[in-house]
Structures are given as structure tokens and as C-alpha cells.
């Protein structure tokens, strides 16, 4: 018995037939047969085929190892070998990842249909009675190999496609994370700065505010005193008379009151701004806390005040909302991004000045901010503008990081992707509805409790 393993023939250098496999991987045949004469016959038969590489294995024991090593495109296998069951060997090939799809042509002296049926049932692809005709065997080897190579190529293409999709997803995720990081970084430094400024201004403003009450009291005392003097001395001397006229005493007394009142108003406003700054930049981001959404929106509007002044009307329609569990500074960032976009859209629209945009409540640049409780555990914030609107074909790209329609330097394309990420962190939802030329509405839904 010939037990030489891996006895291979180098193809002779006769001109080969043009085959479809000559472009890709060559046809590789592995014969598993205990009879050396069979090896010689097949080897001889394939010797003139330039495109076919041939390997031989004489024992069933080592067939699997060898198949894994030589990676045949077709296996020719004997059904009956001493001490080995050909059917069992086929099953073995079929359970191994490396060989499970390799076509197997069973060789047998047995022409019984029952045996053939059994062979097909365990997984052979073809069944030939020994010794087959040369032309037929070659045709079958080529046919099975080619089919196998085609399947392999197809699977490989699918795998590549899958990997590309996976990579694309990872890339998207990375960009989102990067965007998130940039924004978080910006947010936290902005937050720190705002908190710092608020803290620094808070002290002097507080003593101005405290002193103001004394000033008001002292001024009123002094005025009473002057009044009393005027009562006692209705005819003052020349010197005092000139002084009164120079300082325009009547006007001074009236104006002083107004100045004091407006100073008080100014200081109160600064205190309000400081509160808003602190509110906006809450640094307690590590844990969720109960927060009033309306306060957040109002603080954000206050900070955006410089942009809102230019003829933009803010129409608040606040409903009854309970405090909700959230990261307030992050939600403020969401309101900030959406309101900033709304203002941009209104400014862009103002050049068009389309009369049909006018809503019944008025016309022109409007931002409606509507809040309402949705159900037991959900609230909704709607921010609608009467700006340019969004063309339908870009609606699904809005939340993609770096997608922007704004000129360089104005848009980063990060605002909405950040909003989406933040809302996702809150297990809420963010939707957009838009009519080009009419306006855009962003709808945020948030849980009250988590």
C-alpha cells in the first residue's frame, strides 16, 4: 500500500486549455484512495492539464489534515478503503470549516442506486463508477471546481461588503464620538468660564445692590431736609438762590428719583443674568437631577438675547410641567443649538420676505416655544420657527455630524448631532418637521423620571 502523503505532480509545461479558472485560483485536486494504481491512473490522466494541480493521499486517517493543507477545489474520494468508512470520511469533511463546502466526487466500483443515494445524503456532490472516462472526469473536475471557486468568490465579496459596512458604521460612530468630545470639551470650558464670570460679578453686584437701598434712604432723608429748610426759609439768600438755579434744582430732584429707580432696575437685571448664567452652566453633570425645563429655556433665551433682539419675536406657550430628571446643562445646550439654528433660519428668510409665511398671530420672524405634558412620564418641548425651512432631500442628513448648509466659519454641522446624542442619553426623542418656505419645528420628548 502506498502511504506517501502529499505526493504532488508538477504540471508539465504543455500548453493548457483555456479555462475560466486560469484567471484566478488554479484547480486543485486531492485524491483520497488506498490504491496506488488509482493514484497513478489519475496522475497520468491529469498530467497534461496545465491548470490543474494534483495531490494524493492514500489513507483516510490523514485525508482531513492534508485537505486543510492543500486546500483542494475538488476532492476525489474512494468509497471503500481498508479500515475506513468512506461515508464517515465525507461526514468528517462536511463538519470542518475548511472543507465543508469543497465538492467531493465519490469513486466506487459499486453502481448500486441505494449506495449512491446514501452518498449524496451524507454530502457528496457527484458519484462516479471506477474508472471513469477521461474526458468525463476532467469535465466534472472542472465543473465542480469552478462552481466552488465561484461560490468562494461570492462569499468573499459578501464578507468584504459586510466588513465595509461595519467599518462605515464604526467610522460614523467615531465621528459622532469625536463631535461629542469636542462639544463636551467646549461645553465644559464654556460652562466653567460662565460660572467663573458669574461668580466674580456676583460679589460687586451684591454690594451695589445692598448700597442702593441706603442711597435711596439717604437721598430721601436729604430731600426731606432740603424741603424742611425751604419751609423755614422761603426766601434764601442770593448765594443759595444762584446755586439752586445753577443746578436746576427742580429738574434734579425729579430726575434723581428716576435715576435711582432705573439703577435699581439695572442691578436687578444683572442679578437675573448672573442667575441665568449659573443656571445655564450648571457644572453638576455627573448625576441627573430634578430640574425645571422652563428655567433652562429662559436662561438660554437670555444668553441668546443679543441675537434675538433683531426683530425676532419669541412666543412662549408654556404648559404645566413638573421638574424633570435630567442633566440641565446638557439640555440647555440642546435648546441653545436648536434656537441658534432657528435664528439663522429666520435671518436667512428675512431676505426673501415672503408674505404667505405670515401666521395668523402676526408675520415675519417668529419662534414659538411650546411645552406640554404628554402623559404620566413624558413631556414635550416644541421649538418652531418661521424661517427658510428644510428641503425634504436633506432632512435625513441633519443629524449627521459635520453636515451643514452654512458657509465656512458659520456652521460646524455639529449642533444637531450633539442634540441627538444628548437626547439619546436622556432616553428621549428628537424629531424634525419642516416645510420649505414655511418654517421648521423641532420636537423634543423627554422622560420625567428614569
Ligand X SMILES: Nc1ncnc2c1ncn2[C@@H]1O[C@H](COP(=O)(O)OP(=O)(O)O)[C@@H](O)[C@H]1O
Between the alpha carbon of residue 170 and those of residues 146, 303, 403, 418, the distances in Å are 36, 36, 18, 17
Name which of 209 and 399 has its Cβ closer to ligand X.
399
When asked if residue 300 is in the footprint of ligand X (CB under 6 A), the reply is: no
Q: Which three cell numbers stand for residue 43?
A: 496522475
Alpha-carbon span 228 to 237, nearest angstrom:
16
Alpha-carbon span 334 to 423, nearest angstrom:
8
Alpha-carbon span 42 to 138, nearest angstrom:
10
Give just the sign of the alpha carbon dihedral 345, 350, 351, 354. positive
Q: Which of 86, 103, 387, 428 binds ligand X (CB under 6 A)?
A: 387
- Residue 66 near which of Mg ion, ligand X, none (CB within 5-8 Å, type-dependent): none
Residue 401 half-sphere exposure toward CB, CA atoms < 13 A:
16
When asked if residue 333 is in the footprint of Mg ion (CB under 5 A), the reply is: no
Interface with ligand X by CB under 6 A: which range of 64-72, 201-209, 215-223, 413-421?
Answer: 413-421
Closest approach of ligand X to the CB of residue 249, in Å: 56
- Residue 276 near which of ligand X, Mg ion, none (CB within 5-8 Å, type-dependent): none
Closest approach of Mg ion to the CB of residue 227, in Å: 59
Closest approach of Mg ion to the CB of residue 309, in Å: 19
When asked if residue 398 is in the footprint of ligand X (CB under 6 A), the reply is: yes
When asked if residue 406 is in the footprint of ligand X (CB under 6 A), the reply is: yes
Listed residue (342, 332, 327) closest to 297, CA to CA = 332
Per-residue mark of binding to ligand X, 330-349 (x: CB under 6 A): -------x---xx--x----
Give just the sign of the alpha carbon dihedral 321, 323, 326, 330. positive
CB–CB of 74/148 below 8 Å?
Answer: yes
Closest approach of ligand X to the CB of residue 420, in Å: 9
- Residue 398 near which of Mg ion, ligand X, none (CB within 5-8 Å, type-dependent): ligand X
| Strand partners for 443 | 382, 431
When asked if residue 411 is in the footprint of ligand X (CB under 6 A), the reply is: yes
* Residues found near Mg ion in the complex (CB under 5 A): 341, 415
* Residues found near ligand X in the complex (CB under 6 A): 337, 341-342, 345, 385, 387-390, 398, 403-406, 411-417, 440
Amino acid at each position: 500500500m502506498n502511504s506517501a502523503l502529499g505526493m504532488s505532480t508538477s504540471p508539465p509545461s504543455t500548453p493548457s486549455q483555456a479555462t475560466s479558472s486560469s484567471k484566478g485560483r488554479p484547480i486543485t485536486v486531492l485524491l483520497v484512495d488506498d490504491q496506488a494504481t488509482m493514484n497513478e491512473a489519475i496522475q497520468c490522466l491529469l498530467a497534461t492539464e496545465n491548470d490543474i494541480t494534483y495531490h494524493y493521499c492514500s489513507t483516510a486517517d490523514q485525508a482531513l489534515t492534508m485537505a486543510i493543507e492543500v486546500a483542494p477545489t475538488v476532492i476525489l474520494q474512494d468509497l471503500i478503503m481498508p479500515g475506513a468508512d468512506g461515508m464517515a470520511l465525507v461526514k468528517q469533511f462536511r463538519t470542518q470549516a475548511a472543507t465543508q463546502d469543497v465538492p467531493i466526487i465519490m469513486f466506487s466500483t459499486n453502481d448500486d442506486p441505494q449506495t449512491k443515494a446514501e452518498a449524496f445524503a451524507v454530502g457528496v456532490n457527484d458519484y462516479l463508477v471506477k474508472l471513469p472516462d477521461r474526458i468525463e472526469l476532467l469535465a466534472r473536475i472542472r465543473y465542480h471546481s469552478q462552481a466552488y471557486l465561484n461560490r468562494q468568490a461570492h462569499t468573499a465579496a459578501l464578507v468584504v461588503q459586510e466588513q465595509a459596512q461595519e467599518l462605515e458604521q464604526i467610522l460614523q460612530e467615531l465621528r459622532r464620538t469625536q463631535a461629542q468630545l469636542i462639544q463636551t470639551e467646549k461645553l465644559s470650558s464654556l460652562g466653567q468660564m460662565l460660572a467663573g464670570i458669574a461668580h466674580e460679578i456676583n460679589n460687586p453686584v451684591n454690594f451695589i445692590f445692598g448700597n442702593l437701598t441706603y442711597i435711596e434712604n439717604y437721598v430721601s432723608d436729604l430731600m426731606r431736609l432740603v424741603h424742611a429748610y425751604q419751609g423755614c426759609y422761603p426766601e434764601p439768600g442770593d448765594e443759595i438762590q444762584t446755586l439752586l438755579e445753577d443746578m436746576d434744582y427742580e429738574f434734579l430732584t425729579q430726575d434723581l428719583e428716576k435715576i435711582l429707580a432705573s439703577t435699581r432696575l439695572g442691578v436687578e437685571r444683572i442679578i437675573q443674568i448672573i442667575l441665568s448664567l449659573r443656571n445655564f452652566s450648571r457644572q453638576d453633570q455627573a448625576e441627573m437631577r430634578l430640574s425645571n425645563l422652563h428655567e433652562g429655556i429662559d436662561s438660554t433665551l437670555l444668553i441668546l438675547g443679543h441675537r434675538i433682539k433683531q426683530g425676532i419675536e419669541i412666543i412662549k406657550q408654556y404648559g404645566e410641567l413638573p421638574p424633570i430628571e435630567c442633566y440641565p446643562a446638557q439640555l440647555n445646550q440642546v435648546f441653545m443649538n436648536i434656537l441658534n439654528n432657528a435664528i439663522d433660519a429666520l435671518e436667512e428668510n428675512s431676505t426673501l420676505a415672503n408674505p404667505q409665511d405670515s401666521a395668523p398671530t402676526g408675520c415675519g420672524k417668529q419662534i414659538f416655544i411650546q411645552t406640554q405634558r404628554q402623559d404620566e412620564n413624558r413631556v414635550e418641548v416644541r421649538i418652531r420657527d418661521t424661517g427658510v425651512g428644510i428641503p425634504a432631500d436633506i432632512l435625513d442628513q441633519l443629524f449627521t455630524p459635520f453636515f451643514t448648509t452654512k458657509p465656512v466659519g458659520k456652521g460646524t454641522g455639529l449642533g444637531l448631532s450633539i442634540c441627538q446624542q444628548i437626547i439619546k442619553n436622556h432616553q428621549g426623542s428628537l424629531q424634525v418637521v419642516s416645510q420649505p418656505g414655511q418654517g421648521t419645528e423641532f420636537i423634543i420628548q423627554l422622560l420625567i423620571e428614569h
